[in-house]
Chain A
Amino acid sequence: MKRYWYIWFTMTKRITQVAFASRLGVIFFTLGKLIRFLLFLFFLLLIMQNTKADAGFTTWQIILFFITFNIVDVLSQFLLREVYRFREYVVSGNFDHILLKPISPLFRSLFGGSDILDFVTLIPLVGFLVFTVTKLDPVSILQIIFYVLLLCNSLIIAISLHIFVLALGVITTEVDNAVWLIRDITQLGRVPVDIYKSTMRTLLTFVLPVAALVTIPTKALLGIVSIEGVLLAVVFSAVLLTLSLLSWQYALKQYASASS
C-alpha cells in the first residue's frame, strides 16, 4: 500500500512539474474551466428566475446539484487523468513496459499521474459548495457525513466506468471518445434526474448511474434521500466495480502487444 502511495505521489509530482512548465497553459486551462462553470450557472439561474416548473426544488437546491456534479466530475478527472493518455501506451507498444513492472497495471493505467490543474479548480468549487449550503435550510452533521460517503461511492462508480474505458482501449485501441462519452452521460446529472421525463428518469436511475453519481448524494445533503436511494447507489457501485474488473481481466487476455 505504502509503495503504491509513493508511486502515485512521485508520478503526480512529475506530471505537475510538466504542467507548470507551461504557465500560460495553466492559466488558460483554469480559466476555461471557470468560464464553463460560470456560463452554465448563469444559464441555470436565467431559467430558474423565469420558470414556474422547478420539480419542487429551490434555486439554491438546483445550484447544489450542479456543484455536486462538478465536484464528482473534477475529482474523477483529477485522479484518473492517466486514462486520457492510455491510448498512446497501447498503440505505441509502451503498455508492454507497464505490464512487465512489478505493480498492478490497472493501478498504473488509472492513477499513473493525477492532474494538479483539476485539483486547483476543486478548491473554489468546495468554497462555493460551503457558501451554497449556508443558503439552504440548516444541514445536520449526519447529512454531511452521508453526503461525503455517497460522494466516495460516486468516485467508485467513476473509477469503474474508467476501467471499462481502459478495457475497451486494450481491445479496440480507441479510448478518446469513449471517455468523453462517459463525461457526457454524467453531464445529464447537472440537474436532478427528477426533472427528466419518466422513461429517461428510469434510464438514468436504473441503467445509467447518473442518479447514483450526483442526484442521490445531493439529496442526502438536502435530507430528502430515501433508504432505497442509498441502497441503489451502493449496489450500483458494487455491481459496476465487479463488472469493470472482470472486463479488465478479459481485455488483458485479449492483448496481443501488436504495436511493440
Chain B
Amino acid sequence: MRRYVQIAKNTWDETFTYRFSFITYRIRNILQILTVYYLWTFFIPQNTTFLGYTQSQMLTYILATMIVSSVVMATRSQAIGNDINQGNLSSFLLKPMNYFGYWFARDIGDKAVNLLFSIAELTLLFMLLHPPFFMQTNPFFLVSAILSISLGTILYFYFSVLMGCFGFWSNEIWGPRFVFYQLLSFFAGSLFPLDILPKNLYAVIEYLPFSYLLYFPIKIYLGDLSILMIIKGLLITGFWIGVMHLLVSRVWNKGLRIYTAYGR
C-alpha cells in the first residue's frame, strides 16, 4: 500500500514541475466553466425558469460540474495506450506491483491536485461573480453525493483503461479516445442537466453509464432525487462498474496474449 501512496505523491510533485503549463491548464479550466456559466446566465434571466430550472439551480449545477469533474474525470491513465504501443508496458509487467493499481494511484494524485485547485478557483469565482448558489445541508444527500462521486471515479477509471487497451490492436489510440470523450462528456451532463432533454432520450440515457459520472452526483447534491431514485442510481452505477470490470479484465488478458513489446 505504501508504494501506491508514494506513486500518488510523485504524481502530485510531477504536476508542479512544469509550472507554466500547469497554470495555463488551470486558466483553461476556469475559462471552460465561465463559457457555460455566462451562457446560462444569459439564457435564464433572473426570476424565470428554463425547462424547470431556475437560474440559481442551473448555475449551481454548472459550478458543481467543475468540482465533480475535477475528481471523477481527472486522469493520467490515458498514457496506458502509449505504454503498450512503445513497449514500456514490459518493464511494468516485470515489477512487483499491480499495473492498474499503479495507474489508479497516479489518478488519485492527479485528482487531489485538481480538487484542491478547483476549490480555490471556485472560491475566486464566487468572490468575483457572486453567483446564486444552492448550499446543501442535508447530511443524507451530502453522503450519497460523495458515494456517487466515488463510484463514478471507479467507473471512469475503467473507461479510461478500456480506451488504453486499444493500444494492443492499433497504434491509433488517440482517435477512438477523442470520439469517446466527446460523447462521454456530453452524455455525462457537462453542458447541462440531462433531464432537460426530450423524455424519450433521457429515458435511454438513464440506463447508460455516462450520466452517473457527473449528472447523477450533482442531482443528488441538489436534493432533486428521492431516496428510491438515489438507490436505483447507485445500483445502476454498481452494475456498470461490474460490467466494466469484467470487460476490462477480458480485453486486457486478450491483449496481453498478443502483446509483443514492439518498440523496445
Contacts and interface: CB of A to CB of B under 8 A. Distances in A.
B186 A51 contact: no
Contacts of B18: 174
A53 B42 contact: yes
Interface string A5-46: 000000000000000001011011101100110011001001
B35 A187 contact: yes
Contacts of B31: 181, 184-185, 187-188
A174 B42 contact: no
Contacts of B21: 174, 176-178
B176 to A, nearest CB: 5
A190 B32 CA distance: 12
A250 interface: no
Contact of B43 (A47, A187, A197): A47
A251 to B, nearest CB: 14
Interface stretch (B22-30, B115-123, B203-211): B22-30
B28 A180 contact: yes
A51 B38 contact: no
A239 interface: no
Contacts of A53: 42-45
Those 9 A-B pairs whose CB atoms lie nearest each other, nearest first: A28-B175, A177-B24, A25-B172, A32-B178, A32-B179, A174-B21, A195-B42, A184-B31, A51-B43
A172 interface: yes
- Name, among A32, A35, A181, A190, the residue most crowded by chain B CB atoms within 10 Å (CB to CB): A32
A39 B42 contact: no
B197 A172 contact: no
B259 interface: no
Nearest to A178: B24
- Name, among B34, B41, B172, B196, the residue most crowded by chain A CB atoms within 10 Å (CB to CB): B172
B186 A177 contact: no
B182 A36 contact: yes
- Name, among B27, B43, B170, B176, the residue most crowded by chain A CB atoms within 10 Å (CB to CB): B43
Given A25-B174, A51-B43, 6 more contacts: A35-B182, A53-B44, A180-B25, A184-B32, A195-B38, A200-B38
Nearest to A25: B172
- Name, among A28, A46, A187, A196, the residue most crowded by chain B CB atoms within 10 Å (CB to CB): A28
Interface in A122-159: none
A55 interface: yes
Nearest to A172: B20
B248 interface: no
A191 B39 contact: yes
A43 B35 contact: no
A17 to B, nearest CB: 16
- Name, among B34, B35, B44, B170, the residue most crowded by chain A CB atoms within 10 Å (CB to CB): B35
B183 interface: yes
A207 to B, nearest CB: 13
Nearest to B43: A51
Nearest to B26: A177
Contact of A174 (B20, B44, B178): B20
